[in-house]
Amino acid sequence: MPQVIISVGREFGSGGKAIAEQLAKRFNIPIYDRHLITEIADKTGLTPEEIEKYNEKPKNHILSRRVNGYSNSIEDNIAEMQFSFLREKALSGESFVVVGRCSETKLRDFKCLVSLFILGDMSEKIKRVMAIYDLSEDKAKAFIDKKDRKRKRYHNYHCEGHWGDSRLYDLSINSSRLGIDKTVDLLEEYINARINNG
């Protein structure tokens, strides 16, 4: 199989991560999400917990500064490490699935990139989050809003385009319409078509 990089952006609770995992299985390629944290932990000597603390988080503008391209925001530096790790992997010719990390923008120069954005109906997202995190409806909604706000700020700080804007991705899809499995079927078909198209 020629190199393929599948970038999966997602709304919190949309099942984007589950979809990414299934795609990785179907194409038999690695997925970089949690693994990205452990790989960087190995490389830097930081603990995965330390990296997790700052992972996909927007920087605090008041408490950090940037001088001549040097930022002293830990969030910024963890993000930059992840971006360069992804670029290295992409340059090595490896195929992989990556969840979030502004990958649709950071890897857009690679022709083999297929960028997807998974969204969902709020009611479905709440149900999902309530089940996974054992939360009440109100708390699940607040949790989703908080997570998505952070992802949006993180993305929009590191990229020119806006998080979730369909013009930024090859395909945006609402996972609530077909459910996780059928959405994966459809995406698999699309990715295969892209691979065959060269």
HSE-CB for 178 with a 13 A CA cutoff: 12
Q: Which is closer to another protein, CB of 84 or CB of 136? A: 84
* Min CB(88)–another protein separation in Å: 15
Q: Which is closer to another protein, CB of 71 or CB of 174? A: 71
> Dihedral through CA 175, CA 33, CA 11, CA 124, nearest 10?
50
* Min CB(131)–another protein separation in Å: 35
Contact set with another protein (CB under 8 A): 43-46, 50, 54, 61-68, 70-72, 74, 77, 80-81
Q: Which is closer to another protein, CB of 1 or CB of 62? A: 62
* Min CB(31)–another protein separation in Å: 24
Q: Which is closer to another protein, CB of 66 or CB of 111? A: 66
* Min CB(36)–another protein separation in Å: 15
State residue 148 phi and psi, 5-degree precision.
-65, -35
Helix/strand/coil for 30: coil
- What span, in angstroms and rounded, lies between the C-alpha atoms of 134 and 159? 33
Which DSSP string corresponds to 45-67? S--HHHHHHHTT----TTT--EE
